Amino acid sequence: GQQVMQIPQYQHVQEGEDFTTYCNSSTTLSNIQWYKQRPGGHPVFLIQLVKSGEVKKQKRLTFQFGEAKKNSSLHITATQTTDVGTYFCAGPERTDKLIFGTGTRLQVFP
């Protein structure tokens, strides 16, 4: 079955530093979604990318979908303590069965 891997598994940064997490799928995806889970919380949808090479921004967050539609990245500029949490990418296997990546846990030190 489809596998979705993310690196790094953990990242600790000083507040104000940048952060990037990378997502790689074993198969070509029709779209990629990103979710954020705060400590003790549940995953919350952030964004969906559909087109090859697509780039979308949400304030300090920049999301990119690879040209081959098998990889994606999330970049946070000037991290804040509110960015703490685990970031998951997710892609559909076949139609709408959503497979989640392994996640990257971000810790931000003030």
Q: Which residues bind other proteins (CB under 8 A)?
A: 1, 30-31, 33, 41-45, 48, 50, 88, 92, 95-103
Q: Could you tell me if 22 and 71 are in contact, meaning their C-beta atoms sit under 8 angstroms apart? A: yes
Q: What one-character-per-residue DSSP string does 57-108 give?
A: EETTEEEEE-TTSSEEEEEESS--GGG-EEEEEEEEETTTEEEE---EEEEE
Q: Is 50 or 78 the residue whose CB approaches other proteins more closely?
A: 50
Task: Name the minimum Å distance from CB 38 to other proteins.
Answer: 12
Round to whole Å and give the CA distance between 34 and 45.
6
Q: Is 58 or 80 the residue whose CB approaches other proteins more closely?
A: 58
Task: Name the minimum Å distance from CB 66 to other proteins.
Answer: 18
Q: Is 1 or 110 the residue whose CB approaches other proteins more closely?
A: 1
Task: Name the minimum Å distance from CB 16 to other proteins.
Answer: 28
Q: Is 78 or 98 the residue whose CB approaches other proteins more closely?
A: 98
H/E stretch holding 49: strand 44-49
Task: Name the minimum Å distance from CB 103 to other proteins.
Answer: 5
